[in-house]
Amino acid sequence: MTAERPTFSILTPVYDPPLGALREMIDSVREQSFTDWQLVLVDDRSPDGGVRDALRAAAASDSRITVVEREANGGIVAASNDALARARGEFVVLIDHDDLIEPHALESVADVLGSAEDVDYLYTDEDKVDDEGRRYDTFRKPEWSPERLRSQMYTSHLSVLRTSLVREVGGFREGFEGSQDHDLVLRVTERARRVHHLPEVLYHWRAHPASTASEYQAKPYAWLAGQRAVQEHCDRVGITAEVELGPLPGTYRLQRRAAPGHRVSVVIPTNGSSGMVWGEWRAFVVECVRSFLKDPGDVAVEVVIVYDDGTPPAVLAELKELAGDDLVLVPFVGPFNFSKKCNEGYLASTGDVVAFLNDDLQIVSDRFLERLVAPLAEPDVGMTGARLLFADGTLQHGGHRYSRGDITHTHFGADASWGGHFSELVISRECSGVTAAAAALRREVFEEVGGFCEALPANFNDVDLSRKVGRSGHRMVWLPDATAYHFESRTRIPTVHDWEYRLITTRWDFAGDDRFMPTGPDLASAAN
């Protein structure tokens, strides 16, 4: 506990905003229920002389308002650093010159920071507000999600950072104009003791054609600056990746490379079944293996097939032809038990990373296995999951969501071309769990959590595994660029029994909101 409540310095670079919006922004600060604040307004030589008049009037009316008038226009980074130089508060708060905060915003933030002295960065939820004052497009954000921050500047507003740490990392950096906040938050969170998400909508972005609420369309240079910021972040923290612009404005893709020497054991339970897909007859497991061996990426592969007694010998022969000496055949005797099959496959494997795949997958991403396992090089990433599509191109798996008693697949059945709420279906991000139809773990993590629960032979075994991985303190990451088709309905009819639901909900609490997916409709069970 801190002895006193924190103090805040609000940093606001100003350049030629609409005067009405500027005054409303200042009023939203002056109306705060928490009164121990400093507002630093830096005019970056606005062409409209009325801006300086409005700032001078504000400073004259309130001693807590500091105005800096730059003699020459230097850009948002220079203006932001001028504001930072004048900051006296324990924390700096970033507010744009035409946006609004809730009257209790600083009070709510102070309540958190006053009881958690190790929080170095705090962010809140936000929405947009139009010129008529109508609020819309609410962004209820996930808990701290470092992978998502590399893929998208999701924390944005309201951002509250410990002043000493901001100065320690060098403040705002030239060359990152338009994404200077993203660059700063990446550097601060690399060193922060604790990051906290405050799940309240405390910030309202003003939406008009030139506002930051539409920044990447109005200012494409901001997107490129964000790409550079994420690339430099990856280089600093030791992530081997090339950062590319993502498929939607403001998003980024990390083209990761697996650590040298990885041996990936791919464990596939199967009964060797066949069926018709896209007008062609196929042995599912054969085509699954063929598809990921075509381009596994820069990893050594061991193929572990856990097969039932009735598996056709011709299927096993084809697998031997495909995988050669890298094939391990594990006979399985007994009634169907997906969990037991996976555990026995794991025991027969030798790789330092184990990937579990259903036999009815067809890989479509290049370097699929490398993409799936590369994030596991980060010690705190415990499990990764793939993006799975049904044969008709709709989404089957975008990560699990556990919320208020529901155990669901995120955006189950959505059109695969849809980007999701706030681009969440096109970016790598943390999630509460992933399906075992396509998941990877380091060997030691699988051992640490005890593998799959064999009391759950058909459904929810991946939910249980995910919960165990999360409880052990590891992150789980969903990867949109590791994509496969999943012909699930071709191999079995998914049926969830009451006893299975009772068992999983007895073992784990699903009463609260999901930590990482608080927005968006979800339509179906996350049964395997």
Cα–Cα distance, 103 to 484 (Å, whole number): 48
Kindly list the averaged pLDDT for each block of 10 residues, start to end, along the chain of length 528: 77 97 97 97 96 97 97 97 98 97 98 95 96 92 97 97 98 97 98 98 84 58 96 97 97 94 95 94 97 96 97 98 97 96 98 97 97 97 98 95 90 93 96 97 97 96 97 97 86 76 94 82 40
> Which residue intervals of 96-141 are DSSP H helices?
105-115
pTM for the complete prediction? 0.93
Half-sphere exposure (CA, 13 Å, Cβ side) for 124? Answer: 27
Please report the domains of the chain, with CATH numbers, ordered by start residue: 8-214 (3.90.550.10), 263-525 (3.90.550.10)
Cα–Cα distance, 305 to 272 (Å, whole number): 10
Tokens of 120: 């170095």
Q: Nearest to residue 28, comparing CAs of 122, 110, 130, 97?
A: 97
> In Å, how far are 10, 132, 152, 405, 428 from 525, measured between CA atoms?
45, 41, 28, 11, 22
> In Å, how far are 31, 47, 56, 181, 343 from 18, measured between CA atoms?
20, 12, 16, 22, 63
Q: What does the pLDDT read at residue 207?
A: 83
Cα–Cα distance, 48 to 145 (Å, whole number): 41
Burial (CB < 10 A; 0-12, 13-18, 19+), residue 448, is middle
Q: What does the pLDDT read at residue 216?
A: 53
Q: Nearest to residue 131, comparing CAs of 21, 15, 16?
A: 21
